[in-house]
A and B are shown apart, each in its own frame.
Chain A
Amino acid sequence: LAKTTQPISMDSYEGQEVNITCSHNNIATNDYITWYQQFPSQGPRFIIQGYKTKVTNEVASLFIPADRKSSTLSLPRVSLSDTAVYYCLVGDDTGTASKLTFGTGTRLQVTL
């Protein structure tokens, strides 16, 4: 399973765009890239998923370069409520016994 690396923490002011990059150098052909958000004492919540190029939904965009060795979650104009931990996951469709983990994620702190 592809290992992911993310920054431990990031700070931003309200209203700014935030970009969180995840490195996954040994991503496999069948792997998808998924991002989750977690608030304290709650379960993570799915944000966005992609395989290549760019994916956009109502809350975020996901940019994936051609080599797929990294991905960037982009949060437009963050607010205080976007303060959370963001996890990057890489997983495939084999369905075999896997060590899927959420890692330590990136702790985003948004301030006024």
Chain B
Amino acid sequence: KQEVTQIPAALSVPEGENLVLNCSFTDSAIYNLQWFRQDPGKGLTSLLLIQSSQREQTSGRLNASLDKSSGRSTLYIAASQPGDSATYLCAVVGDKIIFGKGTRLHILP
């Protein structure tokens, strides 16, 4: 059974710093992995999708990597801004889609 873990559950960093969010999964038989952002009281917004054959994807200040063999993905945020404050969730798509519980990120002005 696929399990998806995100550590840490919460993170506070000063504005301007680069940071890395982690996602680990137990079953490497996946189709793709997605990173989402969720603002309080809102739905999820897709940030990046990495196909199982890919190693990374980039969008602006965001870079997501995927290492299937080790069951890990990271989301790198460069030059963090207060507007990046949100909860970030990863989702692993295999036979089913399984979400991690997210990392709550707070960027300190």
Q: Do A and B bind each other?
A: no
A interface with B by C-beta (< 8 Å): none
B interface with A by C-beta (< 8 Å): none
